[in-house]
Chains A and B, each alone.
Chain A
Amino acid sequence: MKMKKRHQQKLVMIAIILFFLWNVPFVTILDGDFHVFGFPAFYIFIFLSWFVGIAVAYYILKKFYE
C-alpha cells in the first residue's frame, strides 16, 4: 500500500491550513457574539473547521491511499 508524494502533500496542506486557521489573526476574526444551538461563535468555528479537516483527510485517504 502506498500513496504518491503528490497526494501526501495534500494532507500536509490540511495541517498547514489548520495551523493558520487556528491561530491569530483568524481566531480573532471569526470570534463573534452569536451562538448556534448554544455553541458560541468561536466554538462553531473551531469544531466546524476540525470536522471539515477530518472529512477532507478521509476523502484524500480513501481516494489515493492504495
Chain B
Amino acid sequence: MSNYALILIIIVYLAFLFFLAYWAEKKHRGKLVNNPYIYVLSLAVYCTAWTYYGSVGIASQSGINFLAIYLGPVIAMPLWIVLMRKIIRISKQHKISSIADFISMRYGNNRPLGALVTFTCLLAIIPYISLQLKAVSETFALVSNSSSYVSSGILDDSTFYIALLIAIFVAFFGTQSTDASLGKRGIMATVALESVLKLVFFLAIGVFVVYFLFDGTTDVYQKASLMENFQQLSSFGGLENGFNWMFTILLSFFAIFLLPRQFHVAVVENQNINHLKKAIWLFPLYLLIFNVFVIFIAWAGNLKLPDTVNHDYYSLLLPLQESNTFLTLLVFIGGFSAVISMIVVSTLALSTMVSNNVIIPYGFIKKLVEGNPEENAKSIKSIRRVAIFILIIIAYFFYVNFSNQLSLFSIGLISFVIIAQLAPSFFLGLFWRRGTAKAAKAGMIVGLLVVIYTLLLPIVSDVVSPGSQITDKGLFGYWWLRPSQLFGVEYLTPESNAFFWSLSFNTLSFVGLSLMAKGNYRERNYAEMFVHNENYENLQEGAFVWKGEAYVADIKRLLNRFLGETRTERALRLFNKKYNISQQEEKADARLINFSEKLLTGSIGSASAKILLASVSKEKPISLVEVLNILEENKETKATNRLLVEKSEELSQMASKLQLANNELLLQDKQKDDFLDTVAHELKTPITSIKAASEILEDDEMPSELRQQFLNNISRDTDRLAKLIHNILDLEKLSSDRTELKIKNGKINDTIKKAISGIERIAEQRRVHVVFEESGYLEGMYDEDRILQVLTNLLSNSLKFAPKEKGIIKVALKEKDKKIAVVVEDNGKGIPEEDHNYIFEKFYQSKNQNTKKPQGSGFGLAICKQIVESHNGNIWADKKVKQGARLVFTIPKTE
C-alpha cells in the first residue's frame, strides 16, 4: 500500500474521531453521557498497543507471561464494589480531577506531594507514550512498505504529524471547561468507540489466522506443538516463575487503579456510581475476549514467519504475508485506535496534573490572583494546552532517541513499576488514618530511587556508555548491589526485582515514618474525611475543621477572579441559603472557606486552592482535642438527624395507613351501594313480570290455556319475590352478626344424608343420580340447621346444572388438619373461569356492572359463604376441575 493512501486513511479516521467527539460534546444530555457501556468501554483504554501487539510478541517468545497483566485487573474488579465506590465518592465530594489531586488531598492538600505524584506519573507515562508512538511508526512502516521507518528528519516523519494531530485533538476537546473535574464527553465517546474497534479487529485477525490460515485452533496447536520450545510457551513452567508471575499480577492490580489514564476514566469521568455494577463483570469479560486468540496468533506467527521479524507485529505480518491488504489495514487501524486512546487519555490526565499540581501552585498563582475571570479561564486553558503539546513532543523525542532497544512489553512493565510507587500512600491512605504527608513523600522518593537504580540505570547506562560495569559487577564492585539482582536475588526478572525491592522500601518508609511522627491537624482532618468518608458525605462543608479569620469580601473577590461574578454570586447565595447565613455577614467561617476551596479546586487544583485561600485568611492551628470535639459534635448532629428521619418515616407510615383505612371505608360504602342496586334490580325483575302479565290478562279474547300459563307465571314470580326477600333478610342478618349460631357437636354424615333426602324427590324427577361417597365417619362443631341450608343450596345448584338423565352429583367428605371438608361435585357445564372469583359475592363485580352475574346463583352462594365463614370455615370452587363444578367448604372438626 502506498504511503500516501495510508496517510489519507489515517487522516480520514482522525477526522471521523474529531467529528464524533464534537457530536458527543454537543449532545450533552443524551443517552450517550449517562451510559454504563461507554463507561466500561472507556476503562478498556487499559488495552494499549502493548495488548494489541505486545501480547503476541511475548506469547511467541517467552510464553504465558503476557496473561498476568490482565489477571491483576480481573482480580481487582470485584473489589471495586468496595474500593472504587469509596474512591469515586471521595473524589466527587472533593471535586478531584486527577490521581495527584487525590493523593495530595488525602495528606492535607499537600503541595509538594501533589508535585511529587505528578513527577512520578510523568516519569512513568512519557516513555510509555513514546512506545505507543513507536508502535504507530513501525506498523506504519510495515503496512506502507517503505523500508526504513527511521526517517532522516522530523519533518518528513509521519509519526511526528500524527503525534501533533493527537495533541490538537486533546487540546481542543480536553480543555473545553476550566473545571478539570467535569467530564469530557466527546473524548470518552471516541475512547469507547476505539475500544470496540480494537477488540473487533483483533478478533478478526484471530479468526483469520485460526480458521483461514489454519484449520481451527486444534490444528494450530498440533502444528505448533512440534516446535522445539513449545513446552515453554504453553505451560506455567517452574516455581521460580511463580514469583515473577505473582509480582506481575500485583503490578497490574495496582496499575488498574493508579495509572493516570485509568484513574481518569474510572473516577474523574464516572458520571454515575451505579455504572460500577456493569463494569465489575463486563470489563473482565472484555479482557477475556481480547486474550482468547493471542496464543494462536503467536504460534501461527512462529510457524509461518521467519524468525528475523519483530514478533510483536505478527498480527500485522500474517495478513501482510497473505497479501490480504484489507485485513492488514483493519489490524493497523485497530492498533492505531489503541494507541490514540491511550495517548489521548494519558496526556489529558497528565496535563491536568501538570497544570493543577505543578505550574499553577508553583508559578502562576500570583498572576492568577491579579487577573480577571476571563483572563484567568484563558490562562488556565492555555497552560493545559501548552502542557499537552509539550508532553507529546517530549514523548516524541524520547521515542526518537531512546526506544529502539526496548520492546512494548518491557517498557510497559517499567511504567507499571514506577506507577506502583503510589500504591502504599494511595491504598493505605484509604483505610489507615495515621499515614502522614511526610511519610508519603519519603516512601515515594525512596521507592523511586530504588526503581531508578535497579531498572532505569541499566537501560540508561546501556545507551549512554555501553561498556559500563555497574550492571554486571554492581556499584563500586559490590556484587550484592547489582541493579537487576539486588541483594543477590538471582531468579527474578529485572522488573519483578525492581518492583519487589522498591515497593518493600517504599512501604516500610511510609509506614515507619507515619508511626514515628503524627501529621499536623490539617492532615489528620483530611485523613478522617477520606478514611471515614461515609460519615461526611452529608455533612460536607460543615465537617471541616478550621479556625481562623477571614472576611467574606476577600473570599468573594478571590472567587470572582476564577468563576466570574455571576457564578460567584449564585454559589454564595446558594451557600447562604443552605446554612441560613445572613447576606450581610462579614466574617467568613470554616464552612465558607471549605466551600470556596472546593469551588476553586476544580479549576486550579487543590494545592493552589489552598494557597489562595490561605492568602486571604489567617489560619490558626487547632488542637487535636478541638478536632475531636468537633467531630463528636458532627456525630451527634447525625444521630439527631437519624432520629428525626425515623420519626418522620413513622409519621408517613401512619398517614399511609390512614389513607388505606379511608379507602377501605370508601370501598365498603361503594359495596353497600352496589348491594342495594343489586337488590333493587333483583326485586324489580319479578315485579315487572307480574305487572306485565296482569295487564295482558285484561284481554278477554285470550285462549284459556294461555291465560292459565300467564297465571302460573305470576304465581312463580310471586314465589321468587318472596324467596328473594327472605334471602336478603337472611343475608343481612348473617353479615351483621345478629344471628346466634347454635353450634353443637354434630355427625356430619347424618347431616349430609338429611340434606340429600330433602332434594331426592326433585332429583328423581330430573333423573339425576345423587351419591354420597361415605369414606369415614366424622364429627364436627356446627349449627346443623345452617349447614343443612348450605348443603341444600349447593345441592340445588348442582341439580339445576347437572344434565337431565345423565346427571350425577357426588358428595364426599375429607379430613384436613383440624377441619372437615365437604365436597359437592356435579357433571354439569361447570363454572366459567372468569366467574370463579365472583360467585360467592353478594355484589355485582364492580368492573363490568352491566353484565349479569353467573346465572342462577342469586344470593344463595353469598349466604352459604356467610354461614361457612361464621363457622370459621372456607368455601371455594375448585379451579382444577375439568368437567362440571366442584364446590368445597370446611367446618371445624370436633377435637
B220 touches A18 (CB 8 A): no
Which one of B79, B220, B292, B296 contacts A15 once the chains associate, using CB atoms below 8 Å?
B79
Which one of B67, B218, B284 contacts A37 once the chains associate, using CB atoms below 8 Å?
B218
B246 touches A24 (CB 8 A): yes
* Chain A 30-45 near chain B by CB (<8 Å), digits 1 or 0: 0101010111111100
Which one of B67, B75, B82, B245 contacts A18 once the chains associate, using CB atoms below 8 Å?
B75
* Chain A contacts with B in 15-61, Cβ cutoff 8 A: 15, 18-19, 22-24, 27-28, 31, 33, 35, 37-43, 46-47, 50-51, 53-55, 57-58, 61
B288 at interface by CB-CB < 8 Å: yes
B274 at interface by CB-CB < 8 Å: yes
Select from chain B the residue with minimum beta-carbon distance to A19.
B75
Contacts of B222 in A (CB 8 A): 38
A42 touches B217 (CB 8 A): no
B234 at interface by CB-CB < 8 Å: yes
Contacts of B291 in A (CB 8 A): 47
Q: Which of B77, B274, B296 has the most CB of A within 10 A?
A: B77
Select from chain B the residue with minimum beta-carbon distance to A22.
B71
A15 touches B217 (CB 8 A): no
A11 touches B280 (CB 8 A): yes
Contacts of B77 in A (CB 8 A): 15, 57
A27 touches B242 (CB 8 A): yes
Contacts of B296 in A (CB 8 A): 38
B78 touches A40 (CB 8 A): no
B285 at interface by CB-CB < 8 Å: yes
B205 at interface by CB-CB < 8 Å: no
B81 at interface by CB-CB < 8 Å: yes
B239 at interface by CB-CB < 8 Å: yes
B67 touches A46 (CB 8 A): yes
A57 touches B281 (CB 8 A): yes
Which one of A12, A43, A51 contacts B78 once the chains associate, using CB atoms below 8 Å?
A12
Which one of B218, B219, B281 contacts A54 once the chains associate, using CB atoms below 8 Å?
B281
Contacts of B234 in A (CB 8 A): 35, 40, 42-43
B81 touches A51 (CB 8 A): no
Which one of A15, A23, A31, A54 contacts B246 once the chains associate, using CB atoms below 8 Å?
A23
Distance of B850 from chain A, by nearest CB (Å): 44
A18 and B234 alpha carbons, distance in the complex (Å): 21
A38 and B245 alpha carbons, distance in the complex (Å): 23
Known A3-B81, A37-B218; contact A15-B75, beta-carbon cutoff 8 A: yes
B295 at interface by CB-CB < 8 Å: yes
Known A22-B249, A54-B288; contact A38-B79, beta-carbon cutoff 8 A: no
Known A3-B81, A47-B288; contact A61-B281, beta-carbon cutoff 8 A: yes
Known A39-B217, A57-B77; contact A28-B236, beta-carbon cutoff 8 A: yes
B288 touches A50 (CB 8 A): yes
Distance of B182 from chain A, by nearest CB (Å): 23
Category for how many chain B residues contact A:
35 or more
B221 at interface by CB-CB < 8 Å: yes
A40 and B59 alpha carbons, distance in the complex (Å): 13
Contacts of B217 in A (CB 8 A): 37-39
Which one of A1, A46, A55 contacts B71 once the chains associate, using CB atoms below 8 Å?
A46
A42 touches B221 (CB 8 A): no
B242 touches A15 (CB 8 A): no
Distance of B398 from chain A, by nearest CB (Å): 34
Category for how many chain A residues contact B:
35 or more
Contacts of B274 in A (CB 8 A): 1, 65
Distance of B533 from chain A, by nearest CB (Å): 15
Distance of A44 from chain B, by nearest CB (Å): 11
B235 touches A53 (CB 8 A): no
B854 at interface by CB-CB < 8 Å: no
B64 touches A42 (CB 8 A): yes
A65 and B295 alpha carbons, distance in the complex (Å): 36
A8 and B64 alpha carbons, distance in the complex (Å): 32
Contacts of A61 in B (CB 8 A): 277, 280-281
B239 touches A14 (CB 8 A): no
B512 at interface by CB-CB < 8 Å: no
A65 touches B64 (CB 8 A): no
A11 and B74 alpha carbons, distance in the complex (Å): 12
Contacts of B758 in A (CB 8 A): none
A22 and B281 alpha carbons, distance in the complex (Å): 18
B76 at interface by CB-CB < 8 Å: yes
A53 touches B218 (CB 8 A): no
B216 at interface by CB-CB < 8 Å: yes
A60 and B82 alpha carbons, distance in the complex (Å): 14
* Chain B 724-741 near chain A by CB (<8 Å), digits 1 or 0: 000000000000000000
A29 and B221 alpha carbons, distance in the complex (Å): 22
* Chain B 215-243 near chain A by CB (<8 Å), digits 1 or 0: 01111111000000000001110010010
Which one of B221, B245, B292 contacts A40 once the chains associate, using CB atoms below 8 Å?
B221
Which one of A18, A41, A43 contacts B74 once the chains associate, using CB atoms below 8 Å?
A18
A53 touches B78 (CB 8 A): yes
Select from chain B the residue with minimum beta-carbon distance to A5.
B82
A22 and B274 alpha carbons, distance in the complex (Å): 29
Distance of A4 from chain B, by nearest CB (Å): 11
Distance of B75 from chain A, by nearest CB (Å): 5
A54 touches B216 (CB 8 A): no
A15 touches B236 (CB 8 A): no
Known A3-B81, A31-B235, A43-B295; contact A15-B76, beta-carbon cutoff 8 A: yes
Q: Which of B236, B245, B284 has the most CB of A within 10 A?
A: B236
Contacts of A51 in B (CB 8 A): 288
B242 touches A23 (CB 8 A): yes
Contacts of A50 in B (CB 8 A): 71, 74, 284, 288
Select from chain A the residue with minimum beta-carbon distance to B292.
A47
A37 and B293 alpha carbons, distance in the complex (Å): 12
Distance of A21 from chain B, by nearest CB (Å): 10
* Chain B 71-94 near chain A by CB (<8 Å), digits 1 or 0: 100111111011000000000000
Distance of A65 from chain B, by nearest CB (Å): 5
Which one of A14, A27, A33, A54 contacts B285 once the chains associate, using CB atoms below 8 Å?
A54
A8 and B77 alpha carbons, distance in the complex (Å): 12
Q: Which of A11, A31, A33, A41 has the most CB of B within 10 A?
A: A11
Known A31-B236, A38-B217; contact A22-B288, beta-carbon cutoff 8 A: no
Distance of B746 from chain A, by nearest CB (Å): 53
B245 touches A23 (CB 8 A): yes
Contacts of A39 in B (CB 8 A): 217, 221, 295
Contacts of A53 in B (CB 8 A): 74, 78, 284
A27 and B273 alpha carbons, distance in the complex (Å): 35
A22 touches B239 (CB 8 A): no
A24 touches B242 (CB 8 A): yes
A39 and B225 alpha carbons, distance in the complex (Å): 11
B221 touches A11 (CB 8 A): no
Distance of B227 from chain A, by nearest CB (Å): 13
A31 and B81 alpha carbons, distance in the complex (Å): 32
Distance of B532 from chain A, by nearest CB (Å): 15
Distance of B221 from chain A, by nearest CB (Å): 3
Distance of A3 from chain B, by nearest CB (Å): 6
Which one of A1, A12, A24, A37 contacts B239 once the chains associate, using CB atoms below 8 Å?
A24
Known A28-B236, A46-B71, A51-B288; contact A35-B79, beta-carbon cutoff 8 A: no
Distance of A11 from chain B, by nearest CB (Å): 4
B292 touches A14 (CB 8 A): no
Contacts of A12 in B (CB 8 A): 78-79, 81-82
A46 and B72 alpha carbons, distance in the complex (Å): 13
Select from chain A the residue with minimum beta-carbon distance to B274.
A1
Select from chain B the residue with minimum beta-carbon distance to A31.
B236
A47 and B291 alpha carbons, distance in the complex (Å): 9
A53 and B218 alpha carbons, distance in the complex (Å): 26
Which 8 A/B pairs are nearest by Cβ-Cβ distance? A38-B217, A38-B221, A24-B242, A40-B234, A11-B78, A58-B281, A38-B218, A31-B236
17 residue pairs A–B, Cβ–Cβ below 8 Å: A1-B273, A1-B274, A1-B277, A11-B78, A11-B82, A12-B81, A27-B245, A37-B218, A38-B218, A47-B288, A50-B288, A51-B288, A54-B281, A54-B285, A55-B281, A57-B77, A61-B277
Known: A27-B236, A47-B292. 9 other contacts (CB 8 A): A8-B82, A11-B280, A18-B74, A24-B246, A33-B235, A47-B288, A53-B78, A54-B281, A54-B284
